[in-house]
Amino acid sequence: MTRIYIDDSTHERGKFIISGVITTEKDVEKQISEILIENGLDKKNDEFKSRLCSPNNPSMIKVRRQLNYLIRKNCKIGLIILPITHREKIGIETLKGLKKIIDSNDFGEKIEINIDENYFKNSRQGEMLCFELGLNKYKLNLEVDSSKVKGIQLADLIAHTCSTMLLEELGLISKKVKAGKGSGYDPDLDIELGFELWASIRYNFLGEIDMDRFENGDGQPHTSTEPFGLYISEYCNKRLTKKIRNTFSEIYLGCIH
């Protein structure tokens, strides 16, 4: 069975909302619980939240690092993006994007969809929208509590990570971090935060290799993410759409060292 988890990250500065989409065939629920326990947290009541990561909360930073590793090893990721001006449409736009992603990939017939709270007025409304789009043939868990359905916490992490990348592309943030040990660079080299985040997840984006470009073009391996793992709402303006595509539509897979 393919399990799908969805959560959003809203950014007033960038005027956008990104929903992170996690797909996996693994039992990530158990693995996330083990990570929480390992870091002194209560698996029943505590949960990972990107907004809680700060120097004053070292345990949450450690959880983030381990969840990132879990994603890299066990998951594929997608993104659904709409402008903040259309927040009220997040439910239908997310489902439209999800349908496009499912139809573009071979996930099999057995799919479980888990969507965080506040996407719909209530779960019944979400179920009706799923019926209209033909998503009702899958197992639906809508308006779920992310402390109970823990895979949602992975979607939170990806939504926040990719939001940071897009904010940097929009010129709204500029932060450098040390490359660090094992990066392939001088550990003391300052690199853009967005680049560091991109490098950590670039192999996990849902997509297909652009073989024509690889064989007949510049010979560089790239993943094309639309429509396999990237859905841009029709309500996004031209500038935002361009910035989204600059950041996520083509993912370079070759050497970066």
Who has greater pLDDT, 129 or 174? 129
What's the pTM? 0.91
CA gap 7, 18 in Å, rounded: 8
Is residue 10 a part of any domain in this protein? yes
DSSP for 19-62, please give it.
EEEEEESS-HHHHHHHHHHHTT--TTT----GGG-STT-HHHHH
Is residue 194 a part of any domain in this protein? no
Mean pLDDT of the chain: 89
At 139, is the secondary structure helix, strand, or coil?
strand
Mean pLDDT of 135-150: 97
**Of the candidate ranges 18-22, 57-61, 153-157, 252-256, the one whose mean pLDDT is the lowest:** 252-256
Report the helix count and the strand count for the chain, using DSSP H and E.
8, 11
Place of tokens 């060292």: 257
Count of structural domains within the chain = 1
Is residue 123 a part of any domain in this protein? yes
Strand boundaries in 106-229, DSSP class E: 111-116, 139-144, 176-178, 190-192, 208-209, 222-224
**Residue 42: CATH number of its domain:** 3.30.420.10
Mean pLDDT of 229-236: 98
Highest mean pLDDT among 118-122, 169-173, 195-199: 118-122
Instruction: Decide: 142 and 115 in contact? Cβ < 8 Å.
Output: yes
Is residue 219 a part of any domain in this protein? no
Is residue 170 a part of any domain in this protein? no
Whether the per-residue pLDDT at 232 is higher than 80: the answer is yes
List, in order, residues 6 or more apart from 249 with CB less than 8 Å away.
224, 225, 226, 230
CA gap 177, 190 in Å, rounded: 5
Mean pLDDT of 171-183: 64
CA gap 115, 227 in Å, rounded: 20
Is residue 255 a part of any domain in this protein? no
CA gap 32, 29 in Å, rounded: 5
Instruction: Decide: 78 and 228 in contact? Cβ < 8 Å.
Output: yes
Which neighbouring-strand residues pair with 115? Answer: 6
Whether the per-residue pLDDT at 69 is higher than 80: the answer is yes
Place of tokens 């709409």: 82
Is residue 209 a part of any domain in this protein? no
CA gap 203, 255 in Å, rounded: 12
- Which run of H or of E encompasses 171? none
pLDDT tens profile 2-36: 999 999 999 999 999 999 999 999 999 999 999 99
What is the SS3 string spanning 220-231? CCEEECCCCCEE
CA gap 235, 81 in Å, rounded: 9
pLDDT grade, residue 190 (50/70/90)?
A: very low
Whether the per-residue pLDDT at 67 is higher than 60: the answer is yes
Is residue 201 a part of any domain in this protein? no
Q: Residue 118 is part of which domain span?
A: 2-162+226-250
Place of tokens 């939170």: 156
Question: What is residue 65's predicted lDDT score, i.e. its pLDDT?
Answer: 92
- Which run of H or of E encompasses 109? none
Residue 176 phi/psi, 5° resolution?
Answer: -115, 150
Instruction: Decide: 166 and 84 in contact? Cβ < 8 Å.
Output: no
Specify the amino acid at residue 73. Answer: K
